[in-house]
Chain A
Amino acid sequence: MKRRDWWVIGSYVVVGVFLLWVLVPIVTVALNSLKSPQDIFSSTPQLVFTPTGDNYGKVLGELSFQTFLVNSTIVALGSTLLSIVVGVPAAYALARLPVRGREWWAWLILFTRMVPAVALVVPMFVIFQRLQLLGTYTALVAAHTTFNLPIVIWMMRSFFEELPRDLEEAAQVDGTGRFGAFLRVALPLTSPGLAATGVLCLLFSWNEFLFALVLSGRETQTVPIGVASFIGTVSVDWGGSSAAAVLAMIPVFVLGLAAQRFLVRGLTFGAVKG
């Protein structure tokens, strides 16, 4: 066998092990969501069983899990949009404009992402309490924006820096202003990066637990709180939590598939500077 063939076989083995490592827990959760408690708790794992929709019925009926999904959608979309609207111009400014001490500004912004969430949660609780915003979507969107904004600024700054300046300068020679060059030239050219950044922001917000726990009210609780709610003091509702986890994964999975083309291109877009 040629040396290249060994490399191919080795690559398949590595990818196969990685896929098993990643997919087995997900498949287990998906199967458990369709099992009765007896099948879940049986001493030997049941691969052949009679599927039941009881867990989904309970999660969507008695526990109204769709409310958590709607809340997460509102918060994740709101936070992502706000982060992009504020962060993209800021990223462009740090990449292109003659901002004094811009590297310091950039590091300062990144520093806000380095502060542990637990250190921010109580001050934020106090702020939103005084603003009478506790338990509202606004509080959650604002909180999630604080950790999404640095991601947007740093990722988009790298994408803007990779663009040849000549393109924007040509647009300016043709009569558009700096803002026009940003809006009509730089932004469209970095759209794959923008999509990748948006997807990352959505994922961070969708999965965030701590701020959602402390700042949300009973009407605005998000998916991670809903999934964790199946863990009681003396029992864990494995079937219910599995069904909830599957429901929580579906929107993210669909989003990932839809944005796959952008993600692959976007995540490598700013990686190499010419």
Chain B
Amino acid sequence: MSRRSPRWPIALFTALTLTACGSTGGSSATGDPNAAPAQPGGPMGKFAGAKLVLSRWAGDPWTSGQKEAAAEWSAATGGTLDLDAVPYENLHDKQALTLSGAGGYDILYVHPSWFGEFAKAGHLAPIDGYLSDAKRNPSGFSADSYLPNVLAQGKYDGKQYCVPDFVSTTLLAYRKDVFEAAGIPAPKTLDDVAAAAAQLNGKDGMAGIAIPGKRAGAVADIMGSLLTAQDNWWYGADQKTTLDRAKAAKAVDFYVKAAKAAPSGVLNFHVDEAATAAAQGKAAMIISTTPSLQALEDPAKSATSGKWGYAPMQFTDGHPAGELIYWNWCVAANSPHKDAAYSFLQWYTSGAQQAKVALAAATAGATKDFYTNADVQAKLPFLTAMNDALTTSNPQPSLPSWPKAQDRIELAVQDAIQGKLTPDQAADAMVQAVQTTLGG
């Protein structure tokens, strides 16, 4: 998911004004990158004197958790790892400017929508060599340790540039107590959801369903899941659009029905506003991204914790689906500490470390062993539904030109919600947006 604001013209200025610096290559000057961990499960290598900088967004529970991980990695390897955390809405521009200039970042947290842009510009370092080098990984750890479809998203031009984490998707959550009291069976299909939303809307001052309507990335994520649930997607392997007009219209039609039963001001709702409304008992259901759903079960923030059931989004019973959302961890091409950077990324994205993150902040890792961790399964009540949804999934688009298309897709949904476009017209607008963007 993403919270996106209209980009400043910085990216354009950057492209016109700056030239990308080439890779300076190099590695840590001191230490032994092949050194075994001092303790089982610890990070690989010794990097005394290496000073690394990691670029990521600020805020959310993950930032403080990652500071602890950085301190742990530093203590184990002798290097230091500082976090440069800036507001998410400005992260892309800060990274783009810094990478286009003299550098200064060693590790980057890169959103899928700008991964392609950075890889194409030569800002990222390939890591195939590290992933396949047994000396740089703990015993048994390799590229095969990751979920293959997620790891594949960090590839560009046949080279692996990034390793993933922060796996999530969009799910339906519903108030079990409200459905029981109203005598409505738990919703199975999206038609059930729309019908229940209409029936429950306004009952006891509660909206039928909370759903993001703000043009901030989540609307496109939900649209992606609605298309995937109909075995359709924005584009194919050849990057030509495969968007089916009728299926897009069906997805928009559902969105409009849901928005009619949503709390007022739905067009200004991002995932956090939707989750807050649901957590405070103002909605009987919610469709949102899984990290935001943690707010429903957090007793400190939620008046409804323990009352929620979770289900994947599906138009047809037995055919759950979802957009695969993730983030990329990448090594900067001009980092002088690539060995040390990989050491941190390998360790941080491993199942054991990601389990710690999940227990603290309800996100999911991207390694296979993460999904067999009993503690994690107990902590994340939506993990089963998420796994079901991701059995049929399409990854969040990572084409360099995609942000433009995404913005127009979200605008079409908003126009349909406001009645300016019919679902068919909104679908036409989406097809045109994707074709224009991809040149297909």
Q: A-side interface residues toward B, CB under 8 Å?
A: 36-38, 41-43, 62-63, 118-119, 121-123, 125-126, 129, 132, 134-135, 213-214, 217-218, 221, 225, 228-237
B57-A233 in contact (CB<8A): yes
A218-B102 in contact (CB<8A): no
For residue B289, which residues in chain A have a CB less than 8 angstroms away from its CB? 234
Say how far A52's CB is from chain B's closest CB, in angstroms: 12
Say how far A151's CB is from chain B's closest CB, in angstroms: 23
Say how far A230's CB is from chain B's closest CB, in angstroms: 5
Say how far A173's CB is from chain B's closest CB, in angstroms: 55
A121-B57 in contact (CB<8A): no
- Centre residue among B62, B63, B86, B280 by max chain A CB count within 10 A: B86
A231-B87 contact, Cβ under 8 Å, with A42-B280, A123-B17, A236-B59: yes
Return the contact of B60 from the options A122, A129, A228, A232 (Cβ within 8 A): A232
Return the contact of B88 from the options A37, A217, A218, A232 (Cβ within 8 A): A232
A225-B87 contact, Cβ under 8 Å, with A43-B280, A233-B60: yes
How distant is the Cα of A84 from the Cα of B295 in the complex, in angstroms?
Answer: 50
B60-A214 in contact (CB<8A): no
How distant is the Cα of A43 from the Cα of B271 in the complex, in angstroms?
Answer: 18
- What per-residue 1/0 map shows which CB atoms of B363-395 lie under 8 Å from chain A? 000000000000000000000000000000000
Return the contact of B97 from the options A214, A221, A232, A235 (Cβ within 8 A): A214
For residue B90, which residues in chain A have a CB less than 8 angstroms away from its CB? 213, 228
Closest 7 CB pairs of A and B: A232-B59, A232-B60, A229-B58, A122-B13, A228-B87, A218-B84, A234-B292
Return the contact of A233 from the options B9, B59, B64, B102 (Cβ within 8 A): B59
For residue B282, which residues in chain A have a CB less than 8 angstroms away from its CB? 43
Return the contact of B104 from the options A135, A213, A230 (Cβ within 8 A): A135
How distant is the Cα of A36 from the Cα of B298 in the complex, in angstroms?
Answer: 13
User: Would you call B53 an interface residue if the criterion is a C-beta within 8 Å of the partner chain's C-beta atoms?
Assistant: yes
- Centre residue among B58, B93, B282 by max chain A CB count within 10 A: B58
How distant is the Cα of A218 from the Cα of B56 in the complex, in angstroms?
Answer: 12
A-B contact pairs, 12 of them (CB 8 A): A118-B10, A119-B13, A122-B10, A122-B14, A122-B17, A125-B97, A126-B101, A214-B94, A214-B97, A217-B84, A228-B58, A234-B1
A221 and chain B: residue at smallest CB distance: B86
For residue A122, which residues in chain B have a CB less than 8 angstroms away from its CB? 10, 13-14, 17-18, 97
User: Would you call B3 an interface residue if the criterion is a C-beta within 8 Å of the partner chain's C-beta atoms?
Assistant: yes
For residue A225, which residues in chain B have a CB less than 8 angstroms away from its CB? 86-87
B88 and chain A: residue at smallest CB distance: A233
A37-B10 in contact (CB<8A): no
- Centre residue among A41, A217, A228, A234 by max chain B CB count within 10 A: A234
- What per-residue 1/0 map shows which CB atoms of B53-88 lie under 8 Å from chain A? 100011111111000000000000000001111111
Range of interface residues on B (Cβ < 8 Å): 35 or more
For residue B324, which residues in chain A have a CB less than 8 angstroms away from its CB? none
Return the contact of A126 from the options B18, B58, B87, B281 (Cβ within 8 A): B18
B271 and chain A: residue at smallest CB distance: A234
B11 and chain A: residue at smallest CB distance: A122
How distant is the Cα of A122 from the Cα of B15 in the complex, in angstroms?
Answer: 10
Return the contact of B101 from the options A41, A134, A233, A234 (Cβ within 8 A): A134
B168 and chain A: residue at smallest CB distance: A234
B301-A37 in contact (CB<8A): yes
- Centre residue among A42, A232, A237 by max chain B CB count within 10 A: A232
Return the contact of B59 from the options A118, A125, A126, A235 (Cβ within 8 A): A235
- Centre residue among A42, A123, A235 by max chain B CB count within 10 A: A235
A134-B87 in contact (CB<8A): no
A235-B87 in contact (CB<8A): no
A233-B280 in contact (CB<8A): no
B18 and chain A: residue at smallest CB distance: A126
How distant is the Cα of A232 from the Cα of B300 in the complex, in angstroms?
Answer: 18
For residue A214, which residues in chain B have a CB less than 8 angstroms away from its CB? 10, 93-94, 97
Say how far B94's CB is from chain A's closest CB, in angstroms: 6
B59-A134 in contact (CB<8A): no
How distant is the Cα of A37 from the Cα of B8 in the complex, in angstroms?
Answer: 33
A213 and chain B: residue at smallest CB distance: B90
B276-A62 in contact (CB<8A): no
